[in-house]
Amino acid sequence: MSLQLKALNLGLRVMAKPYLARVTKPARLRADMEFWSGLLWRAAPFTVSLPLALGGRPALSIRSGRAHPGAVILHFHGGAFIAGSPATHLPMLSRLARLARLEVIAPDYRLAPEHPFPAALEDAVAIFDDLVSTGFAPERIVLSGDSAGAGLALSLLAKLCARGTIPAGLIAMSPWTDLTGGAPSLVLLEDADPMLVAGRMEEVAGYYLQGHSAEDPAASPLFADYPGCPPVLLQTSERDILRDDALRLEHKLRDARADVTVQLWPEAPHVWQMFDGWVPEARAALRDAAMFARKALAL
């Protein structure tokens, strides 16, 4: 573990975790996430981000340096389904775009509680279909996401596998896959996790589900089926309370004979990839994600 990561974990434990334990209004979380992302992170050199619309939703097209034509990474941002945006994740995604030498598209899907389940998934399907209609073949699209956005990407993948429009692969960074709260790591790692608060997860899921069953595979992709699943990269941490959301999904995908790569990072916080430029572990994880995307696309 780098000294930078030790410092980051300390800072998150002192500042971020108490904040997440007390913040109650989604609007406050959204505003604070936008503010701090703009203050803490900067895009990679030579980044160009352009607005576009897909599936009736705004999105950002992100490039940093030369991008391979005809292939793309479609990334769904995290934020517990109630916060986050393409702008909050632009710095991380610009680095991913630069390392992969690919265009990254980040859609602004609808958020809860104003737009509860299944609004985000409906957006994701419409966005993917619109992207295909613009000329990207499904096998030239790598799905990606972090935290709740990774769960959304996986829910989308399950639907695409069921109908046979299978993408090239999927990258899941610290995925939230089980909204029932059944992951043993929620209890086992509650004290070890430097950022997330296990006691708030049910409440946050409630904003999204609003009475809908958390056992629905479309809401909790851990329970979904993935026929003909493409290669999947799961990146999680030994200290993340959502660790077992990834590890249990790994077993399910392997049982389905999917090609799954799991990276279990020691000591890293939830979605540490966001801290590119601050800790070397973030850059290393993004480099692995970029290599995975290029391999899935046979580049």
Domain limits of the chain?
3-296
Find the helix or strand (DSSP H, E) in which 169 lies: strand 169-173
| Percent of the residues in the chain that have a pLDDT greater than 70, as a whole number | 100
Cis preceding linkage at 230, omega within 30: no
| Residue among 49, 147, 155, 185 flagged as catalytic | 147
What pLDDT digit, counting tens, does each position of 250-288 carry?
Answer: 999 998 899 999 999 999 999 999 999 999 999 999 999
Looking at domain 3-296, its CATH superfamily turns out to be Alpha/Beta hydrolase fold, catalytic domain (3.40.50.1820)
**Phi and psi dihedrals of 232, rounded to 5?**
-130, 135
Distance, CA of 182 to CA of 107 (rounded, Å):
29
Distance, CA of 146 to CA of 237 (rounded, Å):
13
State whether residue 108 is helix, strand or coil. Answer: coil
What pLDDT digit, counting tens, does each position of 17-26 carry?
Answer: 999 999 989 9
What pLDDT sits at residue 256?
85
147 is annotated as an active-site residue: yes
In angstroms, the Cα distances linking 22 to 17, 127, 172, 197 are: 9, 34, 28, 10
Distance, CA of 152 to CA of 147 (rounded, Å):
9
Cis preceding linkage at 26, omega within 30: no
What pLDDT digit, counting tens, does each position of 280-292 carry?
Answer: 999 999 999 999 9
What pLDDT sits at residue 1?
87
